Structures are given as structure tokens and as C-alpha cells.
Chain A
Amino acid sequence: MALPTETGARTLFNANRLLVLILGLPVLAGMAGIALPAFGYLPALGESRFTLDHFAELARQPHILRSTLTGLAAGLATTSISVAIVGTFLAGFAGTPAFSRIQHLVSPLLAVPHAAVAFALAFLIAPSGLLPRLVSPELTGFARPPQWLVPNDPLALSMIAGLVAKEIPFLFLVALAALPQLPLRQSRQLTAALGHGHVSGFFVTLWPALYRQIRLAVFAVLVYSVSVVDVAIILGPQLPATLPVRIALWTADHELSARFLASAAALLQLAVVAVAIASWFLIERFGKIALTRVIASGRRIRNDTPLRLASAIAMAASAVLIFLGLAALGLWSIAGLWPFPNSFPTHFTPQTWVRSLPQLGPPLRTTLALAISAASLALLVAIMLLNRNGTAGGGGKAIAYKSLYLPLLLPEISFIFGLQILIVAAGFKPVFPTVLAAHFLFVLPYVLLSLSSPWRALDPRFERIAAGFGKSPLRILITVRLPMLLRACLTAFAVGFSVSVSLYLPTLLIGAGRLTTIATESVALASGGDRRVIGVYALVQALLPFLAFLVASLGPQLLFRNRRAMRT
């Protein structure tokens, strides 16, 4: 591959700079939009004097410490458990037939939005949910729902379960993309010869390299689960709720002065995220030391069957639970009266679908238009950026480039209100392009994240050969690299598509509620608590990204009907 010329490098650098400016500016302005009110400055409410009172008020809020710690602990637990399950499963099964079976089971889950997963789980495990109904009263003797504190348990266990079920497929697919770059077969042979089992062999040889590849995704999971709002509302503890949920409540408080409190709390949330990241650095350090010790001690675990089995069961269970939950949602959407403890509704009626379907049209169109344009735009920009920064060796060293991941690492709730003020101040109408820009902000990092590993993984020799034939860099990109990465590009598009489909707060606040999407409709309807309507909307919301992923996996098959080697 031709080395970039001096001038070329400089333009690229500037292109990066410009993008960072365009993406970073709204984020930073959004941060200013919360930082100023947190210190008492919000002229619209008649306050323009700087003060620390709002932090004192925040400290006086009842149970604020517990809210903060529950969210932090739940986020760290979610991340550790997800990484442990995915890591052990990869270690135990990569390259085996069972691996591809579970891979097919788990992959579609990436498409299901978080809120739909949370609803599905809640419908399943609540005392009046499907699972107790299936075994009551025959096995349990419950003629009426038992008084279990599930979901919404104070230790946030149901919330952690819901988040883990959703984060497993994400981490798994990111790891899957990185896996081809590792010498899996050779390492297996070597470690087996040395007497290692699958798991310990993988961990002493391949894990450090794999973890480096998925590290950013792990941090995204960490930040997301520490600052999640919708899943926490559905599954999380209520007394007290986690900090992000309380921020959302304060933001929506009829007492407008609560906005100052919400801003101060949003800064606290930012600190919580920082603490979570710092804790994870410690966990990483600890893990590294432990791994070094194990390697140095020469200990090998030959019989790791129970461990492998446990990880496979955990992977499969997370998928089965969600599919069962979605089935329960589907059942509810056509249920007539369905009293406890009946396992099935007394009768079925298409009424909810008949009433909802005509209403689905306009929000569905908006959702598709937003998701398709945001994902395409993000894919285009990601290809541009990766083409400049993403090849092996070049490795995206520029800090500016890495800061594109900033929206991924900032708690959404912390800056969206500030961003809203900025956009209004800038005189933008809450119309399609503005909302699209906000979506792009959130979609790009995910697209970049899912495309960068396969991009780096492509053997550079293909392009060198093409260059040897005298093709220009642009032609090489279009005729060699992109076709070979078609599946990866389509997958990245599908990821971006599903991120856009599930965006609620940015769509509502930046669009001033003018652009209704399936996400805004379903959250509004969920506030009405009607399981039938929730069922309809959650299914539609889950179906959309699922279709995108279907296209991503079928696309190469169709396009390369007559080129067998390209169909992978």
C-alpha cells in the first residue's frame, strides 16, 4: 500500500479536525448547558449568579448516596458479568460447531432495543408474568400473584439481568469481528500440547490481544449501563431509583427550579461515569496481574467442562429469555382479558393491532427515514475516516480521531438538555435535518466501532496487489476493499440503524416532539401501562432493526450469487 504523502496526511488531519469540531462542538455545548445551571446560571429562570447552593441541595436529597452507588454498582456488575460470560464462552468454544449455533441464536438479539428487552423480561419474571402463570397454581399453589419484589428489587438484580442479556450480544458481536485476527487454531494446538484446557489455553495466549480489540466496546457498555434510564425505569429499583432516573425525573419536574438540581446531578452523574471508568481501569490492572501470575505459575486447567457449560448456558439463556419475553409481548398484544393465573388469555382479539396499525404509518415513515439517512451518513463518514486512519499500523492514533467516540462515553441524559438549548439558540427549527444531526451524533460512534475491527483485519496484501496493477487508491477502495468488506459495512449500517431506531430522548427533545418515531410513541404509550399496546409497539420496534440485520446477512448472498468466495 502506498504511503500517504506529506500533503495527503495534512488534509486528512484537517478532515479529522473538522469532524471533531462538528461532532465535539454540540457535545461540549451540551455540557456547558448543564454546567452553567449546575452553578446557578440560567437566565430564563431569572438566575444569573454563580453559586454552589445547588450542589448543597443535591447533597441534601434523601438517599442520594444510595441512588448513586446502586447505579454505579449495577453498571460495574453488568459489565463484569457480560465480559466474563462472553470471554469464557469465546475461550471455551471459539472454532467449535456449538459456537456457530449459539452465534446464530445470539446475533439477532443485537437488533432488539433495550427498552423492548426490559419489557420482555419484566413480562416474564414479574409475579403476574408469564413464567409464574405457566406453573401456577399447579406447581406453586398461587391462586393470586405472590408478593415478590421482582422486578424493581432494591439490589437492582433484575436490572442487571436485563442489561446483561442485552449487552452479551453486543460484546459478542464485537469480539466476533476481532476474532479472525487471532491465530486461533495454532494457539489451540499449542496450548493443548502444553496441557491446557480450552478456557485456560485461550486466556493465557489470546485473551490479552482480543481484549485490546474489544476494550472500547467494553467501556461503551460500562458507560451505558451506569447511566441507563429506560431500562432502569422498567426493571430497576424504585426506592430510591438510580441517579440517572432521578435526573430524568428532576428534568421533568413541574417545579422549574428543579432544573438546577437536575443539572448539578447531571454533573454528579458525569463524575460517577468517571469513577466507573477508573474502577474498570483497576479491574483491568488486577486482571492483568492475576493473568500474569497464572501464566507464570504454569498452572493449567485441563478439565474446564463445567465452566464451558456454564458459559454456554448463560449465553443461550440470555437469548432464550428474550425470545420468550418477546413471544409473551406478542401474546399480550392479541390478548383479550387474561386474568391470573391463566397460562393463556381467555380469548384473542386483533383489536389492538387493528386500532394501532393505521396510527403506525407516519411514525414508521419518520423512523425509517431518520434511521436510514443517519446510518448511511454515518457509514459514509466512517468509511472516510477509516480510510484515512484505520489501517493497520495507522491505528487511529490521533486523539482527535478518538474523541469521535465521545458521545459514546458521555451519559446521554447529562448533555441532551444543554444540546436542546444550543439548538434553539442557534435558531434551528425542530425539523428533520436537526433531529437527523442529533441522531448522527449518536449513531456515528457505534458505526465506527463496529466497522473499525474488520477494516483493520482485512489483509493489506489484497490492496498491495491491486496497487501493483496500477489502480488508484480510490479505485482500490471502491473495487477491492469495500466489496470485500460488504458484509461488515452492512452490519455496521444495521447497528447504526438500530441505534437510531431506539433513540428516545434526542428525538423528543431536539425534535420538540414534532417528529414522532416508533421510539417516542412507544415510550409515551408505555407511560399508560397498557400491556397490549406496549406489546404492539415493542414488537414493531424490535422488528425494524431485525430486518436491517437480515438485509445485512442476506445482502452478500444475493449480490455475490455467482462469486462463492465473496459470500462470507
Chain B
Amino acid sequence: MIGWAGKIAAALLLACGIAGGAVAANPGNWDKVVAEAKGQTVYFNAWGGSENINAYIRWAGEEMKARYGVSVVHVKLDDTAKAVATVVAEKSAGKDDGGSVDLIWINGENFAAMKRQNLLFGPDWATRLPNWRYVDFETSPTVLTDFTIPTEGLESPWGGAKLVFFYDSARTAASALPDSAVELLTWAKANPERFSYPQPPDFIGSSFLKQVLIELTVDRGKLQKPVDEESFAADAAPLFAYLDRLKPLLWRHGKAFPQNYPDMKQKLADGELDIIFAFNPAEASSAIANGELPETVRSFVFSGGTLGNTHFLAIPYNATAKAGALLFANFLLSPEAQLRKQDPKVWGDPTVLSLDKLPAGDRSAFEGLDLGVATLKPTELGPALDEPHPSWMTHIEAAWIRRYGAAN
């Protein structure tokens, strides 16, 4: 322990900034990436709250080991921001290489923050991955912009997401279901205490607020730009008028909110909630398969469209195993890995690949997937609404807490 103390003192002196050294992996020279990656260990920081997702990541890791000799360690997080926090701590300490995070499963807000703080590995590596040629970036614009922020190849798409609602057909008739946010309010009046949303800043809860914001905003172009501080109060007024009317009709009269979407799933099973939602169209099917939801659960969307986006993988600027991370990101983008991911028995997450670009064999495998009884077909999912600029969410979350942050 004396050595330990001594080491601190010595290291504190040394830590005053010896940077550089490692050669950055270059996706342009793929053979070199593969060679360099061999024997590396990729620390993949990803949400660990779902057993089926963890099992999928485990499978991908085993494949990486068998094919490329790359070890993948899933660092299970309860919140992605913990990985961001680690990178920040390392940057604070002047640790500009040899960092402990190699790859992060990331969403728009964390990406925007990391990009702004220059915490990401770049320049453009994602579009230079070999499997990029299958990616559907022409018809799916969310692959190139993450919450309106251009990805600029700093993150690689991993899966699609679409806001989908679920209900139990044994309790609620399909004909009674709402078809828009406004109808949802009418439905809540008729069925008080049977709807709620996770408390922001939970990702799904915030997404619900965005859905309502988009539906109630006349000039939607405004949402694609950063918030105008001057007009924000007026811009958000319809949303908060709506939420004010919804609050007394919510589960527990809006004095408490569900923790997150798995919590809502449990509450649908318990009969506490009648309409819930998730960002994965196959969520209900896989929950039925797991015995978490009754077999009578079905899904629906609003015909006017629901939020759609893409989730990504990013590499921190100081990652140790950059080559391994590139190789792993490329593998996760492969038709094989994407097909497995879209299988509701495995995960059910929609692919980011374009079926038209795939070889015939892969295409028919995708088309032949049994999406499950409670999953809508891609054609039934309705239009996708674009995510607003991240600044909207920051402002709305802050205003939400000011307004509803105390229970009485």
C-alpha cells in the first residue's frame, strides 16, 4: 500500500500530459485494420438492461473471436451517459490515448454532446466501412443525421427505431384506439388513469413529448433548427397546454411516472396501464415470447406518422482498440448480424440496411423473417416523423421539470 501511495504521487507528476503515440486506425486500408485488430480486446459500452439484447451482443462477440481473433467485452451500463462520463474523466486527466472505452452504443443527445466536445474518433470512418455499401442512406435520412446533427461518419448506424404503441386486445377494443395525440387525450378522458409516459429525461418519455410537440406544431421546419430562445415559450405553448390537460387523466394522476419502457411493459401486464409505447416495433412480440405480456397484446401507430430514428455506434477519440472497434462495427453492420438482430426471437430491432442493395439470398432471408403476431409489417408502420434538433429536447425537459417537477 505504500507503493500504491507512491505510485499515485509519481503518476500525478507524470500525468501532466504525455500524449500521442498510438497510430490511428485507418478504415481506408481495411486489410491493415483486420491485421491490427487481431488479438485486441474491444470494450463495448452498451445499455445492459435487456437480457435478449445482452444475449445478442454475446453472440456477436463470440463470432468476432472465432472469425477475427478479436475479444469483445460488453460493459453493461444502466445509462449510456456513464460511458460519456468515463471519457470525460479520462480527458480531464489528460489521458488522450489508451482510454478504457472502445465503442459506445449511443443515441442522439449523447452523440451531440460528444461531438461538440470533440470526444469522438474521426474523421469519417463509418462510411468507409466495407459493409456501408448495404446501408440504406438514400431513403432513410436518419442514417446520416442523428437528431438533425450530421453524423459526418463519426458514428455507424446499428438499428432503426420507430415509436409504436401497444395495447391488450382483451381489455381494449381496436376500434376505440386513438389515431393521434389529440385523440389520445380524448381516449384518456374516457379511460382515466390508464395512460402515462416515463418521466423525462428518460429517453422514451422525452420521445413521447417530442411526438406531441411535432403533431401540435404548425411550422415543423422550425423544429429542425436550434431553438429560438425568444419564441420558445410560444412555440412550446401548445405542447404544455396539451400536457396540462393530460396530467389529471394520467396514471396516479401524474403524481408519479413510470421509470422507463420496460416498467410500462410490466404495468401493461399488471393492468395498471392500457396503452404503452416503445421505440421497437417488435417489442410486444418478443415480450409475449418471453412470457412478460399476455398473447392478446397488439401494436398500433398513428396514421399521421410517429417518431422514427436510428441508433448508432461511436468510437471515443482516446479508444485503445480502434481497429478492433472498426472491425466490430463493420461486423454489426453485416447482413448476417443485422438479420439476426431483426429476428424477434433474438431482438427484433429493425435493420438499417436497404433490402434492394443486398444479395438475393440475404434479401429473401430478411423477407422470410417471422416478425411475430404483435408486430406490424414495415408497410403498416406509417410515415416516420423526423427528430427535432437536440436543443428542443433540452429546453422541453427543463420546462417540463419546472412545471411538473413537484407532485402537488
Residue of A nearest to B78 (CB): A527
- Name the distance in Å between A114's Cβ and chain B's nearest Cβ: 16
Residue of A nearest to B74 (CB): A516
B:83-100 near A, CB below 8 Å: 83-86, 88-95, 100
Complex Cα spacing A421 to B1, Å: 20
- Name the distance in Å between A18's Cβ and chain B's nearest Cβ: 7
Complex Cα spacing A425 to B193, Å: 51
Measured between beta carbons, the chain B residues less than 8 angstroms from A516 are 75-76
Complex Cα spacing A531 to B7, Å: 44
Complex Cα spacing A430 to B47, Å: 20
B:390-408 near A, CB below 8 Å: 394, 401-402, 404-408
- Name the distance in Å between A33's Cβ and chain B's nearest Cβ: 9
Complex Cα spacing A259 to B87, Å: 13
Q: Say yes or no: A524 contacts B49, CB within 8 Å.
A: yes
Q: Say yes or no: B255 contacts A253, CB within 8 Å.
A: no
Kindly supply a per-residue 1/0 record for chain B positions 188-219, scoring 1 wherever the CB is within 8 Å of any chain A CB and 0 otherwise.
Answer: 00000100000101000000000000000000
The yes or no answer to B260 lying at the interface (CB within 8 A) is yes
The yes or no answer to B272 lying at the interface (CB within 8 A) is yes
The yes or no answer to B77 lying at the interface (CB within 8 A) is yes
The yes or no answer to A66 lying at the interface (CB within 8 A) is yes
B:1-60 near A, CB below 8 Å: 1-2, 4-5, 7-8, 11-12, 14-15, 43, 45, 47-51, 54-55
Knowing A254-B113, A521-B48, the reply to whether A526 touches B78 (Cβ < 8 A) is: yes
User: Which residues of A are at the interface with B, using a C-beta cutoff of 8 A?
Assistant: 18, 21-22, 25, 42-46, 62-63, 66, 127-128, 144-145, 147, 149, 152, 154, 237-240, 249, 251-256, 259, 336-340, 349, 351, 355-356, 359, 417, 420-422, 424-428, 430, 437, 508-509, 512-514, 516, 520-521, 523-533
Complex Cα spacing A531 to B117, Å: 38
Complex Cα spacing A253 to B272, Å: 30
Measured between beta carbons, the chain B residues less than 8 angstroms from A509 are 82, 85-86, 89
Knowing A149-B252, A339-B270, the reply to whether A251 touches B85 (Cβ < 8 A) is: yes
Complex Cα spacing A149 to B196, Å: 14
Complex Cα spacing A532 to B50, Å: 12
Q: Say yes or no: B12 contacts A425, CB within 8 Å.
A: yes
Q: Say yes or no: B256 contacts A238, CB within 8 Å.
A: yes
B:339-363 near A, CB below 8 Å: none
Q: Say yes or no: B78 contacts A239, CB within 8 Å.
A: no
- Give the interface segment out of B124-132, B261-269, B380-388: B261-269
Q: Say yes or no: A524 contacts B78, CB within 8 Å.
A: yes
Q: Which 5 A-B pairs have the closest CB atoms?
A: A528-B49, A529-B262, A44-B92, A513-B75, A524-B48
- Name the distance in Å between B260's Cβ and chain A's nearest Cβ: 6
Q: Say yes or no: B252 contacts A147, CB within 8 Å.
A: yes
Some 8 contacts from A to B, beta carbons below 8 A apart, are A62-B401, A144-B271, A249-B201, A259-B88, A420-B86, A509-B85, A513-B75, A525-B49
Complex Cα spacing A152 to B8, Å: 43
Complex Cα spacing A149 to B250, Å: 13
Measured between beta carbons, the chain A residues less than 8 angstroms from B266 are 529-531
Q: Say yes or no: A254 contacts B110, CB within 8 Å.
A: yes
Measured between beta carbons, the chain B residues less than 8 angstroms from A430 are 100
Q: Say yes or no: B81 contacts A43, CB within 8 Å.
A: no
Complex Cα spacing A467 to B256, Å: 66
Complex Cα spacing A259 to B406, Å: 23
Which of A66, A254, A421, A523 has the largest number of chain B CB atoms within 10 A? A254
Knowing A18-B2, A529-B259, the reply to whether A252 touches B79 (Cβ < 8 A) is: yes
Q: Say yes or no: B117 contacts A256, CB within 8 Å.
A: yes
Given contacts A259-B88, A529-B262, 10 further A-B contacts (CB under 8 A): A62-B402, A62-B405, A252-B82, A254-B109, A339-B270, A425-B15, A509-B85, A524-B48, A525-B48, A531-B266
Knowing A355-B51, A420-B89, A526-B78, the reply to whether A426 touches B15 (Cβ < 8 A) is: yes
Q: Say yes or no: B406 contacts A66, CB within 8 Å.
A: yes
- Name the distance in Å between A377's Cβ and chain B's nearest Cβ: 9
